[in-house]
Amino acid sequence: MQIRNVQVDEDKDILQKKDKASKAKQINWGKHCETGVKALHESLCDETLALWNMNTPEEVWSEFIALYCTAIFQLLESPGLLKSKLLKFLIYKCVGECLVRAPRVLVTVSTSLLELVFAHEHLAIPIADLVQYLQSTHHSIKVAADLISIVLPLLDAESYYLRNAVVTAVMHILMADFRARDKSTTAAADEDGPNDDGPTSSSTSSAQFRPLSRQRRDTLFGVLEDRVHDVNSFARSHVLRCYRDLCEEGAVPLRHIQKLPNIAVERMQDRTSSVRKYSIELLCVLLEHNPYRETLDRQYYEGQKNHLVATFTAKKKAVMEDVEEQLNRRLSGLNVNESQIATNEEEREVELQKLERLLLFHTHALEFIDTLENDAIPLLIQLLGSAAITDVLESIRFFHQAHAFRLHQATQGIRAMLILIWRTDPKIQELVLKTFQSILFYKPQTDLLVAPPQAAQTLLTLLDGCTVSDATCLEQLLGVMKAKELVPQRVIAALWDLCGDNSSCNTIGHSIWLLSMLKTPPRLEVLLEHGLGARVREEHNWLCVRATSHMLQNWNFKDKSLIPDGIEPLVVSLQTFLTMIDETNLDWFDAAQQAIEALFHVCQFPEQPCGDIVATWSTALFPTDEDDHDEAVCSASELSKFVFILGHVAIRMAVYVESLASSVKEARNKLQHDQSKADKEQSSMEDELGLHAEIEAEEDEFLHALTQNDLVGRNLLGAYGPILIRLVANEDGIFDDELIKEASTVALCKFMCISAEFCEKNLPLIFTRLKECQQPSVRSNIVVALGDLSFRFPNLVEPWTSHIYARLRDINVNVRKNTIMVLTHLILNDMVKVKGQVSEIALSLVDEDKRICELAKLFFHELSKRGNNPIYNMLPDTIGRLSTSATLSKKSFQEITKFLLGFIHKDKQTESLVEKLCHRFVTTAEVAHWRDLAYCLANLSLNDKSLKKLVELRKLFKTCLVDDGVFECFQQLVSKAKKFSKAETKETLDELEHVINAIHSGENLDDNENLLDLPHKKPEKVKTPRKAKKGKESTRKQNVSVETENDENAADAMPKRLQRKARKPTKAKEFIDSDDDDDEDNDDEEDDVAGDDEPPAGRSQPGKRKKADAPRAKATHSKKKK
């Protein structure tokens, strides 16, 4: 055994020695090939080739150079040789040198490379590297252009990576073509001319600059245009990026640039944010690299176009006259200098062609501007409100650039950007600040500051024409910029300089307003002399009054006692303006409101000047002298202004009294906090005895009595309450003036915000005016006021909530918009519970006005963010109400329900909803209702359990499947589920599909099931039994809104008589329920809907309560008293 092992080892040693010997004898072909190719490359020098290029025909010369390529391409067929990087590099150099020496060999090279790509799999990457080398080193784009015809079919490939690669290749070919043309133009313009030294100079030049033909270039641009509509969003965005790079390079001809703005505008409406982003980037690049001029001022181009048209017409007319003159001379037999005539005609023809080209250039420029201003900018303004951050950021950058190029419509986008200062995203806020800093204080596209007067004038232009909301946003923007020290102090000084005698009153008013927005401390002497001076009184310029009052309101000070004495003349001036009785300008109302606010802000005792103002108006309008009483007549304007002052002074006095009470409480708490430890022990004993709580309750009671009795009862303001009631009621039809109606209604609502007793007494009057008044502005104001009253006195307004919902169907757009905004505020802040009437808000999803639709969508989006998911709780009842609506079309129903069902994401909610909807099939005999329910089922995202639930409950919708519409919805349900189904769901889907088809075809799958008993069958409960509540619960009749049905939905199958016996009457609640227990408190019992003229049953009539509601702030005290 050992001898055998030794023999085996000896045999192995002999074999290894033989292998080493054979390897030593092998030839290293890689090294030899490198040496050979290097020798071939060196032979392609001028000295060697000069021997062969002497009077040799070009065809023979090309065939000779082709021999080099043939030898080199044979080396490419060996995969092992290409592992050497040096060899590959030498091969690339040889091929490039061959193309330089003999450009006509290009056809042979291209053909050979194509054959090699198809014949050998390993050559795809090496040949791609070869083409890239030829383009980058020798600028030979013709090779890539010839190969592109083989690559273009890959645009139909399934993988978008391949399609993107082809698009990239097209882009690089077009870029290289542009560079080749650019260099050709530069070489042709060279003063020294081409270098003719050497035998190969001409061939070298032709090899380096071989631009594509116009037809081929247009074909490649057509490929890019087609790819913009690719089915894949990544492919679409990639094409837009390629267009952007081409525009930055300047490689897009003028005739194709005209198409790009329309392409970008079209893609800005894409559903994918990345596509929209790159389309906006393309627009920005088009602006920056536009072929026209540094500014795109429409007036300039229109003026130039009109001038060119006139010149062209005159020149053409002169040519015609000259031709006519020459004809007349010939007819008269006079001598004509034919050569001179021909020369003149050629010159005129050249001049006319030049004018025609200029005219076409300016026409294209105007089309470019029109596309940007009329098509792009409106879409970009919409994208400023997009939820996608990239849309907002890119839109901001576009408007910044558009402003630099002086596009007139860019101003609208700049104003629309103001609201973005409220966005919480730091990227958006930072970009907004930088953009406005650049627009306001820097020269376009530079880092140089503009002159302070020019910056001040830019601010004035921005403020001029701002709406109330725009001005509020601008104030926030300037405040943030001032806090971050982005506003130069010299600009603030320039704004103060504008407040002088050389400026108009409007300029002074805007300057003061801007200084107020910048939180600049007021200069009292300037405000007195120019803000409220004699010139302002003479011109009745209420802008200055409003701006001055606004600046006084923004004056921050810790204590009113520290206000300088110079404020007294300003207070007197404000009183003077507020008592200008003969003023007819409607701007007075806005200025008066700001002036009253300023008085309460700067006066230590504001009741004194305000009382004097009211007394002055009262004496002027209602004289007490008996001789003048019968002759006293006041105009509608005067009466409107008087009631406006009454209302605003009253509401400000109420706020002032409550602020004083808060100050007293804070001072007392601070004093108690500073007491000694012994006093604290005594204080703790008083707390146990409830002494502190009793003191606070007495203070609250005193404040309530002060507000109720002194402010609105015995006070001067309270004396005019009956006048306001008479003006609003207008029983005799005397006060039909629209201004009186608006002012008196607003004033009465402000009085109602002060006193609960006064509010309860006049609520019927207000809701009567809300229903019957024909003036939309009055209804809008009442709806807004009811929102404040609902917060102030929720228990008083709760019985009337249905009347507020009714305004969602108002014929006026502004009334509907105000109503949905008020209801959104009340519901989302838990002041009104989400109940059955929310279906009225759902109807607003298909409102005629787009803004109302967006507000309704915003409401449901915010509502869906709540943890208890109130949309799920109210959805079955909402679907039922919408399905029975006589005014709702099928298309609108489907649009609403599809939107609402999109908020159902949890599997358990989907399962429960499927069961509820299935049980509703047997509660109706209307085919339209069946189809609506089937449509809702088809739009749910069903999982395996939900599909099984459908199979189990097939008896409930068995009779409904005979209808083709219902059957079609169930088919869509199955088809949709199959697209996203998993392996474990396939069996359930097949079973459901079989059941649906069998029932529709008339097969009876279950003969033992008695369908007549189904309405009395109680569905299976999904949730666990709810816990019993302590205390008594209010009955369904005593709630204003109709609550959504219970998760168990048991009452759907029970008669109404049994439902009512199953519940016990309880005492009405004194507050509006929150929706914290939505899923537990939802019952299937329907509410008794209140009539239009009286509150719902179960509630006491307004005006007949035993005790009026106190303000919300006093709710705690009221409960303790009881």
Residue 901: is its pLDDT beyond 70? yes
The H or E element spanning position 314 is: helix 298-331
The H or E element spanning position 666 is: helix 636-673
- The confidence score (pLDDT) of residue 1019 equals 42
Q: What average pLDDT does range 503-528 have in this prediction?
A: 93
Higher pLDDT, 766 or 47: 766
202-216, 628-642, 648-662: range with highest mean pLDDT: 648-662
In DSSP terms, which residues pair with 442 in a beta bridge? 449
Q: Which of 152-161, 298-307, 498-507, 684-693 has the lowest mean pLDDT?
A: 684-693
Residue 814: is its pLDDT beyond 80? yes
Higher pLDDT, 991 or 1086: 991
Query: Which tokens go with 610?
Result: 């305000």
CB 733 within 8 A of CB 750: no
DSSP per position, 540-585: T-HHHHHHHHHHHHT---S-GGGS-TTHHHHHHHHHHHHT-TT---
pLDDT digits (tens, 9 = 90+) for 196-238: 433 333 333 334 446 678 888 899 999 999 999 999 999 999 9
Query: Which pTM was predicted?
Result: 0.74
- The confidence score (pLDDT) of residue 193 equals 42
- Domain formed by 157-184+210-291, architecture: Alpha Horseshoe (1.25)
Q: Which of 87-101, 282-296, 977-991, 1039-1053 has the lowest mean pLDDT?
A: 1039-1053
Q: What average pLDDT does range 1048-1070 have in this prediction?
A: 37
Distance CA 445, CA 488 (A): 19
In DSSP terms, which residues pair with 449 in a beta bridge? 442
Residue 936: is its pLDDT beyond 60? yes
Which among 23, 39, 120 has a CA at the least distance from the CA of 72?
39
Q: Helix (H, G, I), strand (E, B), or coil: what is residue 616?
A: helix
Distance CA 763, CA 503 (A): 50
Q: Which residues contact 674 (CB under 8 A, 6 or more apart)?
A: none
Residue 366: is its pLDDT beyond 80? yes
pLDDT band at 1006; cut points 50, 70, 90:
low
Amino acid sitting at position 983: A
Higher pLDDT, 309 or 393: 393
DSSP per position, 1059-1101: HHHTS---PPPSSPPPSTTHHHH--SPPP----SSSPPTTSPP
Which among 711, 727, 730, 731 has a CA at the least distance from the CA of 719?
711
pLDDT band at 1080; cut points 50, 70, 90:
very low
Residue 144: is its pLDDT beyond 60? yes
Q: What average pLDDT does range 749-766 have in this prediction?
A: 91
Query: Which tokens go with 529?
Result: 């002399």
Q: What average pLDDT does range 460-471 have in this prediction?
A: 90
**Phi, psi at 473, each rounded to 5°:** -65, -40
Q: Which of 542-556, 933-947, 968-982 has the lowest mean pLDDT?
A: 968-982
Residue 150: is its pLDDT beyond 70? yes
Helical spans, DSSP H, in 120-200 = 124-138, 141-151, 160-188
Structure letter (DSSP) for residue 837: T
Distance CA 206, CA 185 (A): 13
CB 620 within 8 A of CB 641: no
The H or E element spanning position 774 is: none
Which among 733, 746, 827, 730 has a CA at the least distance from the CA of 780?
746
CB 207 within 8 A of CB 100: yes
Q: Which of 42-51, 370-379, 444-453 has the lowest mean pLDDT?
A: 42-51
Which among 744, 740, 841, 827 has a CA at the least distance from the CA of 790?
827
- The confidence score (pLDDT) of residue 671 equals 72
Residue with tokens 């209604």: 745
pLDDT digits (tens, 9 = 90+) for 833-872: 877 788 899 999 999 999 999 999 999 999 988 877 788 8
pLDDT band at 107; cut points 50, 70, 90:
confident
- For 261, what's the count of Cα atoms within 13 Å in the CB-facing half-sphere? 24
The H or E element spanning position 66 is: helix 58-76
Q: What average pLDDT does range 609-636 have in this prediction?
A: 75
- The confidence score (pLDDT) of residue 1108 equals 40
pLDDT band at 191; cut points 50, 70, 90:
very low
Q: Which of 348-352, 518-522, 764-768 has the lowest mean pLDDT?
A: 348-352
How many other C-beta atoms are found inside a 10 Å radius of the C-beta of residue 20?
10
pLDDT band at 1092; cut points 50, 70, 90:
very low
Residue 680: is its pLDDT beyond 70? no
Distance CA 96, CA 116 (A): 17
Q: Helix (H, G, I), strand (E, B), or coil: what is residue 956?
A: coil
Distance CA 1001, CA 636 (A): 75
CB 290 within 8 A of CB 296: yes
Residue 661: is its pLDDT beyond 60? yes
pLDDT band at 697; cut points 50, 70, 90:
low
pLDDT digits (tens, 9 = 90+) for 278-296: 999 999 999 999 888 788 8
Q: Which of 802-811, 865-874, 932-941, 1063-1072 has the lowest mean pLDDT?
A: 1063-1072
Q: Which residues contact 424 (CB under 8 A, 6 or more apart)?
A: none
Residue 175: is its pLDDT beyond 50? yes
- The confidence score (pLDDT) of residue 835 equals 72
Residue with tokens 């504008």: 498
pLDDT digits (tens, 9 = 90+) for 878-890: 999 999 888 889 9
Cα-Cα end-to-end distance for the chain: 114
Residue 655: is its pLDDT beyond 60? yes
Q: What average pLDDT does range 1005-1024 have in this prediction?
A: 42
- The confidence score (pLDDT) of residue 961 equals 86
Residue with tokens 């006491």: 1100
Q: Which of 52-56, 474-478, 530-534 has the lowest mean pLDDT?
A: 52-56
Residue 1107: is its pLDDT beyond 50? no
How many other C-beta atoms are found inside a 10 Å radius of the C-beta of residue 541?
22
- The confidence score (pLDDT) of residue 1066 equals 38
Question: What is the percentage of the chain residues whose pLDDT exceeds 90?
Answer: 36
CB 232 within 8 A of CB 161: no
- The confidence score (pLDDT) of residue 90 equals 86
DSSP per position, 909-937: HHHHHHHHHHHHGGG---HHHHHHHHHHH
Which among 718, 763, 760, 724 has a CA at the least distance from the CA of 744?
724
pLDDT band at 1077; cut points 50, 70, 90:
very low
CB 994 within 8 A of CB 1046: no
The three-point CA angle 869-874-879 to 5° equals 130
- Work out the mean pLDDT of the chain and round it to a whole number: 79
